[in-house]
A and B are shown apart, each in its own frame.
Chain A
Amino acid sequence: MRHLLSINDLTPESAREFLTTAAELERVSEGQMKKLPTLRGRTVVNLFFEDSTRTRISFESAAKRLSADVINFSAKGSSVSKGESLKDTAQTLQAMGADGVIIRHSASGAAQKLADSGWISASVINAGDGTHEHPTQALLDAFTIAQEFDRDSFDLSGLTIAIVGDILHSRVARSNVLLLKKLGASIILVAPPTLLPVAVDGWGVRVEFDLDEVIEICDVVMTLRIQHERMADSYFPSLAEYSRGYGLDDARLARMKAGAAILHPGPMNRGVEISSSAADSPRSLVLQQVRNGVFVRMAVLYHLLGGAHETHQISHSRIGEKS
C-alpha cells in the first residue's frame, strides 16, 4: 500500500494491522525507546492548505518519533483559486525529494488528485480533504474505542456508536462510518435532516433526527464540531436551537448508559455541541484521542514509508533519471 487517501483503501484486515501496529508503538513508547530509528533519512512533508494546528503537530510528532525529517509547508493564503498551487507545490516537493506528503486541503479529492496526478512519487496521506474524508482521525477514533472497551483484536462488533451533528459537511463522519462499520460496530447518525447527505439511506447505518431517542442505548457518542456559518446558510435557525436538539448537555450526559464513552474530534465548542461537564467528565476520551492520534499516525507512516527504504535508496542513486 502506497497511499492512504480514504478508508476505502483499507480492508478490515489491513485496518486491524495498522491498529495493531499502533498498539505496539504505544507499548514501545511507554518503555525507554521514545524515538525509533525506522524512518531515519526519510523526509516527510506536512502540506497544509488549511489551518489545523492539532492535526499538523500530531503528524509532526509521529514522524519525529520515527526519526524522519519533517518539513512543515503551510500553503494557506497562497492563491488556490485556479488550483495552480497544488500542482506547483507538489512539483516543488517532488524536486526536493519528499518521501511522504501529508496533505490537508479544503477541496474534496485533493489528496487523491495529488496521488493520481503523476506530479509526485511520494506516498500521500490524506489529513482531511474538504468534506470527503479524514482517515487517520477515524483510525485514532477506532483505536480509542477499542482501547476503552478492551477490544484487543480491534473487533468492535456489539458496540453501538452514535455520530451526532453536521454529517453532511463532516469528513470525520464519512471516514468513521466506513471504518467503524468495517470493524463490526453498529452506527447511528443523529442530525437534523438539513445536515444529512441526500443518499444517506444507502450508507448501511441507522439515521435518527432525535438524539433523546437513542442516547440511552449508545456505547459511544461522538459529537462533531458545528460551524457557526452553517446557521447563515439556513441549515438550522440558531446555535441555541441546535444545541437544545443535538448538544450533549448535562441532562443527556446523565442518561448515557453505564460505561458509555464520549468522543469529539476537536476543537470543541463548549456549550454548543457539548457541555463543559460532558467534555470534562470521566466518560470523555477527548485527551485519549489526542494521545492515540500520535501512535496511529506513527503506524500509518510506518506502514506506508517504512518498508520501502531500500528501493528508495536505489532510486536516489539513479542520477539524472526523471520520474
Chain B
Amino acid sequence: MTQARPHLLIKGAAIVGEGRQDLRITDGRISEMGNFQPNGNETVIEADGLVLLPAFVDLHTHVREPGREDAETIETASRAAVIGGYSAISPMANTHPVADTAGVVEQVYRLGQQTGRVDLFPIGAVTKDLMGEQLSEMSAMAESEARVRIFSDDGKCVFDPLVMRRALEYVKTFDGVIAQHAQEPRLTQGAQMNEGSVSAELGLTGWPAIAEESIIARDILLAEHVGSRLHICHLTTAGGVELVRWAKSRGVRVTAEVTPHHLLLTDEMARGYDAVYKVNPPLRSHADVLALRAGLIDGTIDIVATDHAPHPGEDKDCEWQSAAFGMLGLETALGVVVQALTESGSRIDWKLIADRMAIAPARIAGYAEHGQSITVGSSANLVLVDPMSSRTVNRESMASMSKNTPYDGMTLPTRITHTIYGGVVVMESGVAL
C-alpha cells in the first residue's frame, strides 16, 4: 500500500457465529468489535442486513498473463476477482512462458501486487514446460519472492507415475502440495464432453469418468506411500468423491476442490453445441452434481475453486470440437455456489460458505493473511454480501476481458456489495475500485 489506509467502520453486519456487531478496521486489521458510534475520522459502511465473511480465496485461476493478454490480464483478472469477493487468487502455471522458473512466478506476483486489489499467489509448474517429463525448479520457486507452495501442471495431467511420485516427494522439503489435474490421457484422446448418453447422441467423443477416477486412485496411493500432500483439482465425478472420502478415512493427506460450474451445470448443456459449455474436465451427469454437492457439504471436498478460464470470442464462437475448453468463474462463484447448495430448498449456510471459499483454501495454500476468522487482530480481507438480493449475469458487462460465462441471463442469488482488501474497500456495488 502506497497511500495511508483510511479507517473503516462497518456497522450492523451479521457475522457468522457472532451475531450482529460493529467492526472497526485500522491499518489493515480488525481493531475493535462491538457496538460503536462513528468517531468522525472513519469511513462508515452501513451494513444492516448484510453478511460479513472473510474474503474468498481461489486456488485455481487462469489469468492468462503472460502470453494471452487478449484473453485476460492480471489487471482485468484482479477486477473480476474483487467483484467476486476474492482477496487472493492463484494463477495457474500454463501461461506463455510457462510458470516453471522463479523469474516468471516473481513477475506474476509483483504485477499482482501492483493492482493493489488482490494478492496473486502464483502456482508453479510441476514439470518443465508442462511436458510431464522433467521436474521444474520447484525449490527456486518456493524460495522466491512469490513463495510458491502449490505446484500444478493444470490443463495437463502429471501422467507418468514415476514423475508424479518424485514430485510428491520433492515438495516435502518446503511443505508444498501437488495439485493434480486428474485426466488419464489415453482414455481421453480427442475427448470433447462427458461420456454418456448425451455424448452418444451428439456424436461427440466422450471423456469418461474413469479417466479422472483412475488417476485420483493412483495418486492417493502414491501420496499415501510417500507421505506427501496431494490436492485434487476440479473433482467432477461421484466416483472421485468416493475415492477422496476413502482416502481421508485412511488418513491420506489429500484435499480436493470442486468448481462452481460442476456444482450447478450438467452435460445436458452440450445439446445445441454452444461451446460456452465446453470445459475440461467436462460437465457431468446430474447424479455427479448431487454427489459433488454432498461431498462439499460433508467436507470430503475441502474447497470451491473457480478454474476461471477466460477465452476470446473467436475461441468459443465456432464448432464445438474446434473450441477452447474453459469458462469464466471469478465474478459468479458465490451466486452459483449458493444456487447449487440451496436448490433443494435448504437455507444458506454461511459458515460452510466461509469455510469452503475462504478459510479452507487459505489453510491448504498457507496464505496466512487470508481466510482468517473474523476476530480482533485478524487481517481485514473481508467481503460483505446481501443475502436477500440477487444478480442477473450479463456477459457484456463482465469485468473480465473475456465473455465466456455460461450463466449469461441467469439470475443468481445473493449480491456482493463490498470487497475489502488489506483494510481498503476495493469493490463497492459491483464496481472494482
Residues of A in contact with B (beta carbons under 8 Å apart): 80-84, 86-87, 105, 107-110, 112-113, 116-117, 129-133, 171, 174, 197-200, 202-203
Contact = CB atoms under 8 A, between A and B. Distances in A.
A257 to B, nearest CB: 31
B321 A108 contact: yes
Interface string B281-321: 00000000000000000000000000000000011011111
B322 A109 contact: no
Query: Which label, helix, strand, loop or mixed, suits the secondary structure of the B interface?
Result: loop
A198 B204 CA distance: 12
B34 interface: no
Contacts of B318: 82-84, 86-87, 113
A105 to B, nearest CB: 7
Contact of A112 (B195, B201, B206, B273): B273
Contacts of A84: 314, 318
A116 B275 CA distance: 12
* Closest CB pairs A-B (n = 7): A83-B318, A109-B273, A132-B203, A83-B322, A197-B200, A199-B197, A131-B203
A81 B321 CA distance: 9
A109 B320 contact: yes
B359 interface: no
Most chain B CB atoms below 10 A, which of A81, A105, A108, A200: A108
Interface string B192-212: 100111011111111010000
Given A80-B322, A112-B273, A132-B202, A117 B315 contact: no
23 contacts: A81-B322, A83-B322, A84-B318, A105-B319, A108-B202, A108-B273, A109-B202, A109-B203, A109-B204, A109-B319, A109-B321, A110-B319, A113-B319, A116-B272, A116-B273, A197-B200, A198-B196, A198-B199, A198-B200, A198-B206, A199-B199, A200-B200, A203-B200
A235 to B, nearest CB: 13
Contacts of B321: 107-109, 130
A306 to B, nearest CB: 27
Contact of B203 (A81, A87, A117, A133): A133
B14 interface: no
Given A109-B320, A112-B272, A199-B201, 11 more contacts: A80-B322, A81-B322, A83-B323, A84-B314, A87-B317, A109-B203, A132-B203, A197-B199, A198-B197, A198-B206, A202-B197
Contacts of B202: 108-109, 132
B383 to A, nearest CB: 38
Contacts of A86: 318-319, 322
Contacts of B205: 131
Contacts of B208: 198
Interface centre among A129, A131, A133, A197 (most CB of B within 10 A): A197
A274 to B, nearest CB: 24
A130 B203 contact: yes
Nearest to B273: A109
A117 B314 CA distance: 13
B317 A107 contact: no
A117 B274 CA distance: 9
Interface residues of B, number: 25
Contacts of A107: 319-322
Contacts of B206: 198
A133 B204 CA distance: 11
Contacts of B272: 112, 116
A41 B430 CA distance: 54
B203 A108 contact: yes
A91 to B, nearest CB: 12
Nearest to B316: A83
Nearest to A83: B318
Contacts of B314: 82-84
A145 B321 CA distance: 34
A198 B195 contact: yes
A110 B197 CA distance: 20
A42 B18 CA distance: 73
A82 B319 contact: no
A117 B202 CA distance: 18
A267 B273 CA distance: 29
Nearest to B195: A198
Contacts of A81: 322
Interface in B337-367: none
A113 B273 contact: yes
A60 B195 CA distance: 37
Contacts of B273: 108-109, 112-113, 116
Contacts of B197: 198-199, 202
A203 B198 CA distance: 11
B315 to A, nearest CB: 7
Contacts of A197: 199-200
Nearest to B192: A108
Contacts of B195: 198
A199 B319 contact: no
A129 B323 contact: no
Contacts of B203: 108-109, 129-133, 171, 174
B182 to A, nearest CB: 20
Contacts of B320: 107-109, 113
A229 B273 CA distance: 26
A130 B205 CA distance: 10
B322 A82 contact: yes
